[in-house]
Structure 1
Amino acid sequence: MAKYSQEFKLKLVKEYENGNLGYKSLAKKYGIPDSSPIRKWVNFYQLYGKEGLSPKKSKEVYPVHFKLDVLQFMKQTGSSYQEAANSFGIREYSMIANWNRAFNEDGIEGLKPKQKGRPSMSKLPKKKNMNNSQKMSREQELERENELLRLENAYLKKLKAYEENPNAFLEKHKQHWHLSSKKKDID
C-alpha cells in the first residue's frame, strides 16, 4: 500500500497551485520530512493530470533502443534527467541516470536487461577436474603434498593427546572457547 493516498497528494498539489504555500511550507504543514515528494507530485500532476498521482500498476521494462534514444536526446539537447524523463513519459528520472552510468561503464551491454535472482541449480553434479595435478608445476605439487602432511601430522598429534587424557584435552579447549567468547563480549 502507498504511503500517501491519491486524494492526499491531489490536496497538496491543489494547495500548491493556489500559490499560498511553497514546497517546504507544505511539507512542514503536513508533517512530510522532505519537500521533494511534493515537488514530484506537482510535476506528475502537471504532466499527466490526476493519473500521474496514482501508483504505478506494474514495473515497466524499457527496450535497449528506447534507452539509447533517451540518452541520445539528452546528449543532443543538453537536457537534464528530469527534462528527458518528462519528454519520454518516464516517471523516475533517476532511472535515466542509472542508464547513463551503465552505458558509460559497459556500453550497450550495460543497457541490456539483467537476470534477477539466483541462478537455477543444475540437475547434474559438477564433475571435478582431475587434471589439476597435470596443470600444477612440480614445485606446486610438492608444496601441496607438504601442506597435506603438516595437516595430517597436526591431526594425529591432537588425536594422540586426546587418547592419552581426554579430560585434560577437553578442559583445555573449554578454556580456549571460554576466553574467545569473552573477547566477543568485550567488542
Structure 2
Amino acid sequence: MGKELFTEEFKRMVVQYVLDGHTRRETSETFGVSCTPIEKWVNLYKLHGAEGLLRRNLTGRQKGFDSEFRLKVLQYKHQHNLSCTQTAMHVCLDVVTVCRWDKKFREKGMQGLMMNQKAATPAKRQKAQEQAELKKENKRLEEENLRLRMENDYLKNLLIIRQRQRRDHNMS
C-alpha cells in the first residue's frame, strides 16, 4: 500500500483547525490523521501559506532539478544548520529527495549531484516493457493452452460418442 494522498482542501481544513487553537492530538483524533503530517502541513502553511499545501512530487517533477539547484538547496541546508526535513519544508520538496541529494553530495561531492537520475530510466523502462511483454505472452500462451485443452476434450468426447454410435449400430 502506498502513501495516502490528501487533497489540498482537506489539508487546509486540518491546518485551520490547528490554527483555531486545537492541539495536534485533538486534530489527529478529529480528522483521523496522525500527528506527523499535521505538524508538517502546519509548518508548510506557516512558511509558504496555502501554496505550501499544494501537492508535490507529482510524476517526474523532482527529476527535473539540475545540479545547480540541488547544490543551492544543500548550501542553504548547511548555512542555516537545518535538517533534511526543515530544508524540504522550506523549499517545498519531499524530504526523501533532499536527504538523497545530501547523501549523494557527502559520498561523491558535486559529481554525485550531477549524476543524471534519468540515465537509469531507459534501462528500467526497457526492463518494465520486457516484463510487460512477457506477461502478455504468458497470458496468450495460457489462453492458447486452455483453448487447445478444450479442443482436445471436445475431440475426445466426439470420438467417444462416435465409438458408442458404432457400437450401438453394430449391436442392432
TM-score range, shorter chain: 0.5 to 0.7
Matched-pair contact (CA < 8 Å) for 2:84–2:99: yes
Percentage of pairs with the same residue: 27
What corresponds to 1:36 in structure 2? 36
Moved over 6 A (4+): none
Q: 1:16 to 1:83 in 2, by over 3 A?
A: same
What is the deviation of 1:86? 4.3
Return the match for 2:85 from 61, 82, 90. 82
Q: 1:41 to 1:70 in 2, by over 3 A?
A: same
Matched-pair contact (CA < 8 Å) for 2:105–2:112: yes
What is the deviation of 1:118? 4.3
Richer in helix (by share): 2
Matched-pair contact (CA < 8 Å) for 2:77–2:87: yes
Taking the TM superposition and a 5 Å limit, the aligned residue runs for 1:1-187 are 3-20=5-22, 22-32=23-33, 34-56=34-56, 59-60=61-62, 61-87=64-90, 89-112=91-114, 113-114=116-117, 115-119=119-123
Report the count of equivalent residues.
117
RMSD: 2.5
Letter in 2 for 1:26: T
Q: What is the rounded CA distance, in whole Å, between the counterparts of 1:69 and 1:51 in structure 2?
A: 21
Letter in 1 for 2:121: G
Higher relative contact order (Cα pairs below 8 Å, separated by 6+ residues): 2
What is the deviation of 1:102? 0.9
Larger Rg: 1
TM-score where L is the length of structure 2: 0.57
Q: What is the rounded CA distance, in whole Å, between the counterparts of 1:53 and 1:77 in structure 2?
A: 23
Q: What is the rounded CA distance, in whole Å, between the counterparts of 1:101 and 1:15 in structure 2?
A: 36
Q: What is the rounded CA distance, in whole Å, between the counterparts of 1:53 and 1:84 in structure 2?
A: 16
Unaligned runs of 5+ in 2: 127-172
